[in-house]
Amino acid sequence: MGNIVLLDDLTINKIAAGEVIERPANVVKELVENSIDAGANKIIIEVKNGGKTFIKITDNGKGIGREDMAISLERHATSKIRKVEDLEKTYTMGFRGEALASISAISTLTMQSKTKDEFTGTKLVAKAGNIIKAEECGMQVGTNISVENLFFNTPVRYKFLKQDTTEYRYIKDWIQKVALANPNISFRLLNDGKSVFFTNGNGNILDIIYLKYCHFH
């Protein structure tokens, strides 16, 4: 049996509010929190055009097993809780099991992942929530997820996005905050191919504060 399961109806009703993806920064937040929950100590975030056309998160966490890949794109599929009682004792950052499903429904999502027990990784491509490709791939242990053309099928939501520079600033501000909260994790943010923020994960919060206020702007 895999690690990811579909939640029962009672538990689903308890957490029915769910996530709403309103802008690229929400996508980054959900995916990076998944990386942190997966035990990653190195996370790379790449965005283009303020995240509107391209977002990619690469981590060295424990990965998602082949048998769990497809189910991970279904609503309320999660590896973090099993039943309603677990809501009282969960310590992970995300547990509702909606992030990947919500994101894949409004974009083209490519997910590659490999666990330490697998010889090869698995690659899935989903568009508008439907899996259009599944194949093996070569990669290191961990997960990388790219999100392209966010809101391509919801033009009204796309219209309400800000300029690229503003959407990028939302992303950068959140990455800097999560880096401060997780000084033992190395974060790298690339904007339109340029490295704009990097922490080495040495656990020194003062180093991150210096980078935030004195170095990168």
Taking the whole predicted model, whether its pTM rises above 0.85 is answered as: no
pLDDT of residue 71: 82
Planar angle of CA 12, 16, 19, nearest 5 degrees = 115
Q: What is the dihedral of CA 176, 172, 23, 152, to 10 degrees?
A: -130
Domain map of the chain by residue range?
Answer: 5-215
Length of the chain: 217
Q: Give 67's pLDDT tier (boundaries 50, 70, 90).
A: confident
Let me know: does 143 contact 59? Beta carbons within 8 Å: yes
Instruction: Tell me what the mean pLDDT of segment 89-105 comes to.
Output: 63
CA–CA separation, 87 vs 68, rounded Å? Answer: 21
CA–CA separation, 199 vs 212, rounded Å? Answer: 10
Instruction: Look at residue 14 and tell me whether its pLDDT is greater than 80.
Output: no
Q: Does domain 5-215 have CATH number 3.30.565.10?
A: yes
